Chain A
Amino acid sequence: MKDPATILVIEDDPHARTLLLFVLKQQGYRCLQATNGVGGIAAAFEREPSIVLLDLGLPDLDGREVTRRIRQRSTVPIIVVSARGQEQDKVASLDEGANDYVTKPIATGELLARIRVALRTTETMDTTPGAGAITIGDLCVDFDFRRVIVRGAEVHLTPTEYRLISVMVRAAGRVVSSRQILRQVWGTPYEEQMGYLRIYMKKLRHKIELEPAQPKYLVNEPGVGYRLRVPD
């Protein structure tokens, strides 16, 4: 069996930290802790954790700054922990390179799922740099032949729709901010055009989902972005 992953928890509130560490250790993860942004950044570089859990309300630096500084030297997955209503901060951290977020109060199951996704992402990123095919549930995107197969049948996507599903599939399980999607699909000059994104998401849902208003794959994270759900 592999070594358990090491998780760095950056959280200033002692009770929240104690509980997070308790939950993570129960799952067999090794844990490191930091109580402020500066200490967290140092630990991220020196101890090389497999994942960073970053609270957004730190006393010394805001989450966006911590994310930015860690990203300058490290690709470690960062999961932002934030309160509801902090959409702006979440989006800012995601745009700085955070991988995902969970909302306080944390549902343990959800947190563990996000951690598993983040760990899996680091593994697959090393092996598949974009080619081949990715299958999620009954959705398959074949990058070699630029084909998308849903429930066994090929669906015809326009080039834009194909670029959109490719971006989402490569980030499967993680939230991607609207701006990131716009940048990757349409290009930087279009990163404020939320309307494009909504319209193409709608088109794509109508082609891929059985019930477009009850999406199984392309879920909206209000005020933040989109997530391609990975069935458990």
Chain B
Amino acid sequence: MLSPFDASLGLEQRTLSFGPQTTSQRFAILRRYGAGFLLISLFSLLSLSLSALGPGMNALGARIFAVIFPLGMLLATIRLGLGPAIFAAVTGVVLFDYVFLPPTHAFTVPSARDGVTIAVMLATAATSTVYAERLRRQVDWTRRQADVEGLRNALLSGLSHDLRTPLTALVAAGRALHEGHLDPGELRDFSRVVFEESARLNRLVARLLELTRLESGRLTTKPGLQAIDEAIGSALYRLEKELGSRNVRTHVPEEVPLTTFDPVLVEQVMINLVENVIRHTPPDSPIEISAWRDEEDIVVEVADQGPGVPAGDEERVFEKFYRVSGNRQRDGGMGLGLTLCRAIIAAHDGRMWMNNRPEGGASVRFAIPIRRDQTMALPSPETPLPGSRS
């Protein structure tokens, strides 16, 4: 899904930086900070060796370093992200002090003139960092738009193809029933065709709704503040029949804050994720649904104890038309469920990913940013509000 262009800008690493919790992701973050340190050390070494070519080694080296320093910041921001870039900037200033400012090889409080140099260095670094970050966001956003747009098209063409199949059967069975002269067996068969095919048609049409709400990657509704536990609750309520006696455990602490999302679409995401578990795990295997706050995101997890996904397929499950091999879907699904879920979450500026759990089973998580677009000041809980009735 990533174009070579995106990868060259280091977007791939960036998406990783968001992933909470797992050790490998924590390690990736650490690695990027290490890379920031390495980069800045390399730059000072370069300045030092270049300055050896001319007279007045330290003064020249300092100048070279001051000139290439913003360039380093630019590179650090684009490749490594904002955090490591800031870290590299601070390290750079300390190194500058140690290596180039007299007295060299000592950390000293800089003189007024050197202080100005450092301030100018930091200012240019800050400017380039801000612009680089903005550029990267733009690229990121454009990519997501393209993703959702592409998905819309795939869904539309898939739909029109898939609509035709049940329709043909319906017309044929309907005509036979209408014309009559059927024995009881045929009557039963044809009416079953009508029932089953129309149910299948119905499921397909439900997806059209999701499409219309995902107009070119943006939500067409103004969602307002929502509670994630309600999306989970109503999805489970709607799946009551399908879940049967299955053990569903939910953990949503009361403190998980409200945020803005489209309640119908996020409910659909929850329905799709839970249906996925129902389809791919034994009927008595439990489902665990949790939500928590992770810094500025709300993270939701749907975890099962089924067979998990084939190793290495954790990212591929989100591809269009992906199906676990050997698993024929009977519901007329096009293997678009998870792709659609991810597109919906992307339209909320969120992310979705899948892991196999170390204790067995699969876990799908998504994170959506906490937004308070609708400013809201709650009145103190028990002061009676004007106009209230009891």
A residues contacting B by CB (< 8 A) are: 84-85, 87, 105, 158-160, 162-163, 184-190, 193-196, 198-199, 201-203, 205-206, 211-215, 219-223, 229
Complex partner residue of B263 from A189, A222, A229, CB under 8 angstroms: A222
B284 to A: closest C-beta gap in Å = 18
Residues of B within 8 Å of A199, CB to CB, are 227, 258, 378
Known contacts A198-B225, A211-B250, A212-B252, A184 near B206 by CB under 8 Å: no
Binds A, one of B69-77, B99-107, B231-239, B318-326: B231-239
Complex partner residue of B382 from A160, A205, A215, CB under 8 angstroms: A160
CA–CA, A116 to B227, complex, Å? Answer: 30
Q: Who on chain A is nearest to B266 by CB?
A: A222
Residues of A within 8 Å of B387, CB to CB, are 186-190
Most chain A beta carbons < 10 A, residue from B209, B227, B263, B267: B227
Complex partner residue of A220 from B234, B252, B381, CB under 8 angstroms: B234
B209 touches A219 (CB 8 A): no
CB proximity to A under 8 Å, residues B373-390: 374, 376, 378, 381-382, 384-390
User: Which 4 interchain pairs have the tightest Cβ spacing?
Assistant: A187-B387, A213-B250, A222-B263, A220-B230
B258 touches A198 (CB 8 A): yes
Complex partner residue of B386 from A105, A187, A212, CB under 8 angstroms: A187
CA–CA, A215 to B388, complex, Å? Answer: 27
A105 touches B385 (CB 8 A): no
A213 touches B233 (CB 8 A): yes
CA–CA, A194 to B260, complex, Å? Answer: 11
B254 touches A223 (CB 8 A): no
B389 touches A222 (CB 8 A): no
Q: Who on chain A is nearest to B233 by CB?
A: A215
Q: Is B226 an interface residue (CB 8 A)?
A: yes
Residues of A within 8 Å of B381, CB to CB, are 158, 160
CA–CA, A221 to B267, complex, Å? Answer: 10
Q: Number of B interface residues at 8 Å Cβ cutoff, please give it.
A: 41
Q: Is B139 an interface residue (CB 8 A)?
A: no
- 6 A-B pairs within 8 Å (CB atoms) are namely A160-B382, A185-B388, A193-B376, A212-B250, A213-B229, A222-B230
B201 to A: closest C-beta gap in Å = 9
A187 touches B250 (CB 8 A): no
A187 touches B231 (CB 8 A): no
Q: Is B156 an interface residue (CB 8 A)?
A: no
The secondary-structure label for the interface of chain B is mixed
Q: Is B289 an interface residue (CB 8 A)?
A: yes
Residues of B within 8 Å of A193, CB to CB, are 376
A195 touches B386 (CB 8 A): no
CA–CA, A160 to B388, complex, Å? Answer: 9
A219 touches B233 (CB 8 A): yes
B373 to A: closest C-beta gap in Å = 11
CA–CA, A184 to B233, complex, Å? Answer: 24
Residues of B within 8 Å of A219, CB to CB, are 233-234, 237
Q: Who on chain B is nearest to A202 by CB?
A: B227
A195 touches B374 (CB 8 A): yes
Q: Is B177 an interface residue (CB 8 A)?
A: no
Q: Is B94 an interface residue (CB 8 A)?
A: no
Q: Who on chain A is nearest to B290 by CB?
A: A213
Q: Who on chain A is nearest to B385 by CB?
A: A186
A195 to B: closest C-beta gap in Å = 4
Known contacts A84-B206, A214-B233, A187 near B382 by CB under 8 Å: no
CA–CA, A213 to B390, complex, Å? Answer: 28
Q: Is B285 an interface residue (CB 8 A)?
A: no
Q: Is B143 an interface residue (CB 8 A)?
A: no
A187 touches B389 (CB 8 A): yes
B267 touches A222 (CB 8 A): yes
Residues of A within 8 Å of B138, CB to CB, are none
Residues of B within 8 Å of A198, CB to CB, are 225-227, 230, 258
Residues of A within 8 Å of B237, CB to CB, are 215, 219, 229
Q: Is B158 an interface residue (CB 8 A)?
A: no
CA–CA, A188 to B388, complex, Å? Answer: 8
Complex partner residue of A85 from B213, B289, B291, B376, CB under 8 angstroms: B213
Q: Report B228-266 CB contacts with A as 1/0, cut-off 8 Å.
A: 011111101100000000001011101000100001100
A221 touches B212 (CB 8 A): no
B227 touches A158 (CB 8 A): no
CA–CA, A221 to B251, complex, Å? Answer: 21
Other 10 A-B pairs with CB < 8 A, given A84-B209, A223-B263:
A186-B385, A186-B387, A187-B388, A193-B376, A205-B229, A211-B250, A212-B229, A219-B237, A221-B234, A222-B264
Q: Is B224 an interface residue (CB 8 A)?
A: yes
Q: Is B202 an interface residue (CB 8 A)?
A: yes
Residues of B within 8 Å of A158, CB to CB, are 381-382
Residues of A within 8 Å of B386, CB to CB, are 187, 189
Residues of B within 8 Å of A190, CB to CB, are 385, 387
Residues of B within 8 Å of A187, CB to CB, are 385-389
Residues of B within 8 Å of A162, CB to CB, are 390
Residues of B within 8 Å of A186, CB to CB, are 385, 387-388
Residues of A within 8 Å of B384, CB to CB, are 159
Complex partner residue of B202 from A105, A163, A189, A196, CB under 8 angstroms: A105
Q: Who on chain A is nearest to B229 by CB?
A: A213
CA–CA, A211 to B250, complex, Å? Answer: 7
Residues of B within 8 Å of A223, CB to CB, are 221, 263-264
A176 to B: closest C-beta gap in Å = 14
Complex partner residue of A222 from B234, B250, B251, B374, CB under 8 angstroms: B234
Most chain B beta carbons < 10 A, residue from A87, A188, A223: A223
Q: Who on chain A is nearest to B227 by CB?
A: A198
Residues of B within 8 Å of A194, CB to CB, are 224-225, 374
